[in-house]
Amino acid sequence: MYFKKASLYFFATTLLLSSCSGKKEEPTVYENKKLAAKDQNSVQLTDQQIKTTGLTTTMIQNKTMEKTVRLNGKVEIAPSHISSLSSIMGGHIKSINIINGSHFNKGQVLAVVEDPQFIQLQQDYLVTKAQLESARLNLNRQKDLNTSKASSDKTLQTAQADYSTLNATLKGLEEKLRIIGINTKNLNSGNIRSRISIHAPFSGFVSKISVNNGQYINPSDTLFELIDPAGLLLELKVFENDVNDVKIGQEIRVYNNQNPDQKYPAKIVSMVPNIESGGSSIAVAKLSGSNPEFIRGMYINSEVSISGRNTLGLPNESVVSFENKNYIFEDVGNHHYKMIPIITGISDDQFTEVLKADFIKDKKIVQKGAYDLLMILKNKAE
């Protein structure tokens, strides 16, 4: 009886161990994740699916491509072409002949300033001029007397010093009068005036008027801020991906948002060698010719055509985008397709450049149907 119980216990134990050793092991959680990740990047189609999508393949190709870079920015003025105009001498504003935004021509009278010191300056000039003439006659007389020893050398030296002093004083007064716009050649006691005119140094536009009629101004006070349109510049933002393609000397086409069909030629004259925190740099361009349509502070757009270059590319329909990244599908055989991430460069109407494309040379790449494969993968993942 005891033997039978022992045999039965041994048989049950053996059967249990045999059952446990023959049980199929389930994959771990880690292994399941690996399988899922691998499965999310590939898909296998049936014959009917391939027929429905009309799937075709191609290979990486050598192409000569052109790139159009679109930039935006603002119209600015070169600091050298913004002038703060003031009066050489102080006085009261008698009249202002311009308004903000008005156009003026070089030499045009912008304002008139009045002050008694202008009268005094002209009077000093005429008095000094008369004294100089007297000193010249005295000097000549002393030279003649000194030659015959009728006067001493000291008297001649004094006469010569007086003449030189008055001559220097007259030259200084003449220069002061010239600066304030008074021509000394025609100046006489009959045309002394109390007013001077402030003339435009160039042709341009009025940006700001800082004075009003009757106001007293000092020589250090700014009357007007003037803009020379010849200094019109375009400051354009260039993103980091395009910095190497945008160069000094390139021709660009510029337009504003109000009239996008009218494009004006310009040329890039400078590049700021710095990438800002936003991932962009600044290109400075200058318009070809005068374009009054563009004014300081206006937002503008531009297009830069990059010269054709020989590169590796794929048809546009071969490249698909998902979550801000670009992919292609490789045909690995037996209706099996693998999604591969790529880095793209320039694009045109038909092709997209693939950077660092050596790893897909000689591989069959899906052309028509790439987007369908992406959709199948996304639905599969969901």
Residue 381: its pLDDT value, please?
63
- Position 316: which residue type? N
Q: How far is Cα 192 from Cα 119, in angstroms, rounded to an integer?
A: 6
Residue 339 near residue 327 (C-beta atoms within 8 A): yes
- Measured at the CA of 88, the angle between CA 85 and CA 90, to 5 degrees, comes to 105
Residue 39: its pLDDT value, please?
58
Q: What is the DSSP letter of 382?
A: -
Residue 25: its pLDDT value, please?
44
Residue 294: its pLDDT value, please?
83
Residue found by looking up tokens 């790529």 in the block: 342
> Model-level pTM?
0.57
Q: How far is Cα 54 from Cα 369, in angstroms, rounded to an integer?
A: 7
Per-residue pLDDT of the chain (382 residues; tens, 9 = 90+): 333 343 334 333 333 333 344 444 444 333 333 334 445 788 888 888 888 888 999 999 888 877 778 899 999 988 889 999 999 899 999 999 999 989 999 999 999 999 999 999 999 999 999 999 999 999 998 888 888 777 788 888 999 999 999 999 999 999 999 998 899 998 998 999 999 999 999 999 999 999 999 999 999 899 999 999 888 899 999 988 788 788 898 899 998 888 888 888 999 999 988 888 778 899 999 988 777 678 888 899 998 887 667 888 899 999 999 888 999 999 999 989 999 999 988 777 788 889 888 888 889 999 999 999 998 888 876 5
Residue 310: its pLDDT value, please?
81
Residue 201 near residue 82 (C-beta atoms within 8 A): no
Displacement of CA 218 from its chain's centroid (Å): 38
Kindly report the three-state secondary structure assignment for every residue of 89-142.
CCEEEEEECCCCCCEECCCCEEEEEECHHHHHHHHHHHHHHHHHHHHHHHHHHH
Residue 234 near residue 302 (C-beta atoms within 8 A): yes
Residue 335 near residue 44 (C-beta atoms within 8 A): yes
How many residues in total does the chain contain?
382
Per the DSSP assignment, residues forming a β-bridge with 109 are 199
- Measured at the CA of 355, the angle between CA 349 and CA 357, to 5 degrees, comes to 105
Q: How far is Cα 220 from Cα 227, in angstroms, rounded to an integer?
A: 19
Q: How far is Cα 154 from Cα 241, in angstroms, rounded to an integer?
A: 84
> Sign of the CA dihedral 121, 127, 131, 136?
positive
Q: How far is Cα 344 from Cα 342, in angstroms, rounded to an integer?
A: 6
Residue 352 near residue 321 (C-beta atoms within 8 A): no
DSSP 244-264: TT--TT-EEEEEETT-TT--E
Token pair listed for 100:
């903000």
Dmax (CA) of the chain:
176
Residue 26: its pLDDT value, please?
44
